[in-house]
Amino acid sequence: ALWLVKDGICTVEELDDIMRYSFGLRWAQMGMFQVYRVAGGEAGMRHFMAQFGPCLKWPWTKLMDVPEFNDELVDLIATQSDEQANGLSIRELEKIRDDNLVAIMDALSKQNKGKGWGAGALHKDYTRQLAKL
């Protein structure tokens, strides 16, 4: 991610959007490996690994290294992050984050024929325990 921002390929906001609108949603409710398994289709994880495993041998040298962590990089990322926050305080961002997480867990608690799925199953159990108090 640091290289992508440093090299001007994308901004921190664009990277966060990639996570918020795609990977993050998938990973939040299934986890990385289950998402990969599903991506392998009916053949599952073995097919996924056969399909994408060979790319691990490609010349990714730049991606295996990190850019120099200097004041210029820190300033670039911090400035973009400040712009992305659009004036919201850390407390406001924390509340948005927490409200969103609870809403996601609440939605997941209704999945899997009402038993809950992933963090939603834990949320369902937790709220059930709270109701007993």
Q: Tens digits of per-residue pLDDT, 6-56?
A: 999 999 999 999 888 788 878 887 788 888 898 888 888 888 888 887 876
* pLDDT for residue 52: 82
* pLDDT for residue 60: 64
* pLDDT for residue 1: 87
Hey, what CATH topology would domain 1-87 get? Answer: N-(1-d-carboxylethyl)-l-norvaline Dehydrogenase; domain 2 (1.10.1040)
* pLDDT for residue 61: 60
pLDDT band at 80 (very low <50, low <70, confident <90, very high): very high
* pLDDT for residue 119: 84
* pLDDT for residue 63: 64
- What DSSP letter does each residue of the chain carry, written as one string? -HHHHHTTSS-HHHHHHHIIIIIHHHHHHH-HHHHHHHHTGGGHHHHHHHHHGGGGGS--HHHHS-----HHHHHHHHHHHHHHHTT--HHHHHHHHHHHHHHHHHHHHTTTTTT--THHHHHHHHHHHHHH-
Q: Could you report the per-residue pLDDT of 83-125, keeping only the tens digit for each?
A: 998 998 888 999 998 998 899 989 999 999 999 988 888 899 9
* pLDDT for residue 69: 75
Q: Could you report the per-residue pLDDT of 49-77, keeping only the tens digit for each?
A: 888 878 767 776 666 676 787 889 889 98
Domain boundaries for CATH 1.10.1040.10 within the chain: 1-87
Of 26 and 5, more confident: 5
